[in-house]
Structure 1
Amino acid sequence: MTPEDRFPGPELPHSGPHPHQDLDVLPYGSYYEPNPPQEYRGSPGDYAGEQAGGQDATYSGYGGARFLEQHWPVAGHPMPEPGSQPVFHASQPLDDALGAPRPAAETPAAEDPPTIELGPPITEDNPYAGYQQQPAGDPGPVGPLYVVGDVHGYLDELFAALHQQGLIDADGHWAAGRSRVWFLGDFTDRGPDGIGVIDLVMQLAAEAAAAGGYCRALMGNHELLFLGAHRYGDEPVQSTAGTASFRAAWLLNGGQQHDLERLQGHHISWLSRLPAMALEDGHLLLHSDTTAYLEFGNSIDEVNDAVHDLLADEGADEWWDAFRRFTKRFAFRGAGGPMAAGELLSTYGGHRVVHGHSPIPYLTGEANNDSGERPYVPGPYIYADELAVAMDGGVTMEGRLLVSRLPVD
């Protein structure tokens, strides 16, 4: 009997087809991050070495990986009564502009996803602008901390997962009091209602602040791609492999035309100010499993300011370069993974990296099997000698949209 037999997850509503998910690609191939040297051994004086006690920090192929086989009910939040699970149906059909899925490139290439600071949008037409500030007076103790993996436009599944954790009520409103929630990015593309997802997160940010909690978000590489498609369209950009455009790359990676048509000023303002990274309760929150953040600064504030400045002032080529860097992945997988995770932690703080971006079935290798069965994703995936937690449950490939309370162990 598997953990899923003992603790079955909620039956997810289907808001549209869930095609097999390709990894993000640029027009000329998939982008992986080369792992650090395979001969790395933990040693006193570096973070991963200290965690490994000076011993070999790569005692398994995935650096001591394991699933958190989580029981979906979470202490502190009552479960809905049987039969009360809300089912929400997205109004927009999936518009697959690309037809059949493209095969992922076989060989690793050069580089790759994105973000910047959350706060009230600066435009007048944001319906939630008046509710973003924390209540005055002593706020009291903080509530529990949750993270949400990649959503990719699957609004129905997001409603169900948040309701299952007691974070929203049956009508989709904040029900978690002083709880803290961080979305790890990638709201749009591939699924049927990316704008609906953004609207929900903005609404919950306002409602959570009014209740003394907060709901915040990181910008994923798909937000950077989405904004680039809106701002630069078919304008040529200089890719490392030739000339490309944001719109072409956006369509190649599951961009939905109806999302672009519904994008408004307050969405753009809000998305453009999301942070690239954050530190909460010793957890270094990132969208992408890459060390490219180190190329933008030596502190969290420096990285967030650099990305914010780039999105505010720079041109298409600079945007494209940032997208390319942040679409890199797999830095924490394999023999050099603990060293890569440790380098980020020693630079930015925290004791564990929590990220989205790379679907768990790809990290475990299960995505490469041809069984046709639903991927096995019982919960967050802990790996790199327990220095990293993956939260992209592969909702776009019939996995799960993960919402988990931290710490996960």
Structure 2
Amino acid sequence: MTPEDRFPGPETPHSGPRHHQDLDVLPYGSYYEPAEPPAGYGYDETYSGYGGAHYLEQHWHAPAHHGVHPGGHDATVQLGTLHRTGHEQAVHEPAGHEQAPHEPAVHEQPPMAAATGDDPPTIELGPPLTEQPVNFPYPQPEPGEAPGPLYVIGDVHGYLDELLAALRQASLIDADGHWAAGRSRVWFLGDFTDRGPDGIGVIELVMQLAAEAAAAGGYCRALMGNHELLFLGAAKYGDEPVQSTAGTASFLAAWRLNGGQQHDLDRLESHHISWLSRLPAMALEDGHLLLHSDTTAYLEYGESIAEVNDAVHDLLADEGADEWWDCFRRFTKRFAFRGENGPDAVHELLGAYGGYRVVHGHSPIPYLTGAVHADDGAPPHVPGPYIYADELAVAMDGGVTMEGRLLIARLPVN
């Protein structure tokens, strides 16, 4: 059985243009792990080596023009350099690289929600429902009854139609877009907005499904990705300069640079902000440590999952633009689990937070496998979740922004 048989993709709609997608960048270029990592991690320029990686089945091979290069080493990913002039920023790509159109200047930003003593909406319940509640035929779980199946969903980046198609394919929603998964447990791994055509629509769908799933005895929850931090920062701080070890920049400029869509910012409302601001940074489900970013930066925010989530929430509630920016910068790191020492990085996280395997989004699978550029110009080949780092890590970002796939998988993935 091939990965395509186990993870068949829906007839994916094409809801908007997909310009060739670089990795997230800060004002001075693409951001991976630190240039001088701690001793023992052995990162190098190309991050080559896979530590036992495979797509679901050890002996399955992708087509030659899409697969890993002989010997298990990936091609060096060529990345653009960034130049700044005043308040404008642009990425200068390598020759032959198609660049996305420049976003129009932003003159107004929606205000952040006023600070009140009221608790924000819970992640499980989402926003108030304005229409008649849906009648759910599902029975509530009996005491001691086993939980429902567990699903994870990779980065969406505003591609609402693709998300709806994938959810229907997985039988998690019905034809009308309502929860149809009973007591199933669903986790989105973050990055709802930017690059695609309808980030706010994605957020509202997830909030709706959270309410409907709770009424059905299941749940639909979500992690905070680095693009949630960036989007909220652009709304709150705009062009206010921020200082960090990456240099002086602004949230708004970085948001535009990383695919921010003005119509999403225009439609951002206080209940969206309250919900996004309370998303957890990490979670543990059935022995799976769920993260957005493939980085060890979480260790800098606490020694337990609760400490990390509280630290991020406190930072967003009380700290200033520089601290917020530094949090975004840290969670924009990637590729910590690649290379021969990648399993050591995974073990460090698992040792601190529990579980036996990390499941993450953030880094598109074509970049992890070195299959970004096909010689014939074909889209990247992404047959399903990508297991690597001696089978300790599962990557779930199928690269929907670069003609890949929006991935949904039931855990455990073997």
**TM-score with structure 2 setting the length:** 0.78
Q: Contact 1:190–1:253 at 8 Å: present in 2 too?
A: yes
Structure-2 separation of matches of 1:5 and 1:14: 22
State whether residues 38 and 335 of structure 1, in contact with CA within 8 Å, keep that contact through their aligned partners in structure 2: no
Partner of 2:161: 156
Instruction: Report what 2:323 is aligned to.
Output: 318
> Letter of the aligned partner of 1:309 in structure 2?
D
CA distance in 1 between partners of 2:219 and 2:306 (Å)? 20
Mapping 1:251-266, distance limit 5 Å = 251-266=256-271
2:127 matched residue in structure 1 = 126
Which residue number corresponds to residue 384 of structure 1? 389
- 1:303-337, Cα deviation, whole Å (9 max, x unpaired): 00000000000000000000000000000001110
CA shift for structure 1 position 173: 0.2
Gaps of 5+ in 2: 43-47, 59-87, 95-118, 134-138
Correspondence for 2:247: 242
Given residue 401 of structure 1, which amino acid in structure 2 is its aligned partner?
A: L
Instruction: Tell me which residue corresponds to 2:17.
Output: 17
For residues 15 and 255 of structure 1, the distance between their equivalents in structure 2, rounded to whole angstroms, comes to 16
Amino acid at match of 2:10: P
Distance 1:319 1:229 in 2: 11
How far apart, CA to CA, are the structure 1 residues paired with 2:309 and 2:3?
A: 39
Task: State the partner residue of 1:88.
Answer: none
Which one of 103, 110, 113 corresponds to residue 93 of structure 2?
103
Q: Deviations over 1:370-394 (max 9, x none)?
A: 4311111000000000010000000
* Structure 1 residues 130-178: Cα deviation after superposition (integer angstroms, max 9, x where no partner): 99xx979748331000000000000000000010000000000000000
Give the structure 1 partner of residue 285 of structure 2: 280
CA distance in 2, matches of 1:404, 1:6: 10
Pick from 40, 64, 68 the counterpart of residue 52 of structure 2: 64
Deviation, 1:36, is 6.2
Aligned-CA RMSD value:
3.0
What is the distance in 1 between the residues matched to 2:363 and 2:272?
Answer: 25
In the alignment, which residue of structure 2 is the partner of 1:304? 309
The residue identity in structure 1 corresponding to 2:31 is Y
Query: Which residue of the partner structure matches residue 365 of structure 1?
Result: 370
Deviation, structure 1 residue 128: 4.1
Query: Distance in 2 between the 1:213 and 1:5 partners?
Result: 27
- One-letter amino acid of the structure 1 residue matched with residue 21 of structure 2: Q
Amino acid at match of 2:14: H
- CA offset digits 1:255-294 (Å, max 9, x no partner): 0000000000100000000000000000000000000000
Aligned AA (1:31): Y
The separation in 1 between residues aligned to 2:315 and 2:275, in whole angstroms, is 15
C-alpha offsets along residues 185-211 of structure 1, whole Å, 9 cap, x if unaligned?
000000000000000000000000000
Equivalent pairs counted in the alignment come to 347
Task: Provide the residue aligned with 1:291 in structure 2.
Answer: 296
Q: Which amino acid aligns with 1:33?
A: E
Secondary structure class of the residue paired with 2:372: helix
Q: Which amino acid aligns with 2:13?
A: P
How far 1:368 moved relative to its partner?
A: 4.3
| C-alpha distance in 1 between matches for 2:7 and 2:277 | 39
Alignment partners' CA distance in 2, 1:314 and 1:253: 23
**2-structure distance, mates of 1:62, 1:264:** 43
**Structure 1 segment 207-218 matched on structure 2, within 5 A:** 207-218=212-223
The secondary structure found in structure 1 opposite 2:205 is helix
Q: Which residue matches 1:228?
A: 233
Residue in 1 that maps onto 2:149: 144
> 2: CA distance between counterparts of 1:15 and 1:175?
24
1:20 deviation in Å?
1.1
Q: 1:39 to 1:162 in 2, by over 3 A?
A: closer
Distance in 1, matches of 2:8 and 2:369, equals 20
Q: Is the Cα–Cα contact under 8 Å of residues 145 and 179 in structure 1 kept in the other structure?
A: yes
Relative distance call for 1:135 and 1:224 in structure 2 (3 A) is farther
Query: How far apart are the structure 2 equivalents of 1:7 and 1:344?
Result: 28
Kindly tell me: are residues 141 and 332 of structure 1, through their superposed partners in 2, closer, same or farther at Cα, counting changes over 3 Å?
same
- Offset at 1:68? 1.9
The residue type paired with residue 19 of structure 1 is H
Distance (whole Å) between structure 2 residues aligned to residue 329 and residue 245 of structure 1: 21
Q: Distance in 1 between matches of 2:7 and 2:290?
A: 27
- Give CA deviations for 1:210-244 in whole Å, capped at 9, x if unaligned: 00000000010000000000000000001324320
Is contact 1:150-1:393 (8 Å) kept? yes
CA distance in 2, matches of 1:7, 1:147: 13
Task: Indicate if the aligned counterparts of 2:158 and 2:196 stay in contact, CA closer than 8 A.
Answer: yes
State the TM-score, normalizing by the size of structure 1.
0.79
**Residues of 2 paired with 1:6 and 1:263: CA distance?**
37
Question: Which whole-Å CA distance do the structure 1 matches of 2:389 and 2:158 have between them?
Answer: 29
State yes or no: 1:351 paired with 2:353: no
Where does 1:386-405 land on structure 2 (aligned, <5 Å)? Answer: 386-405=391-410
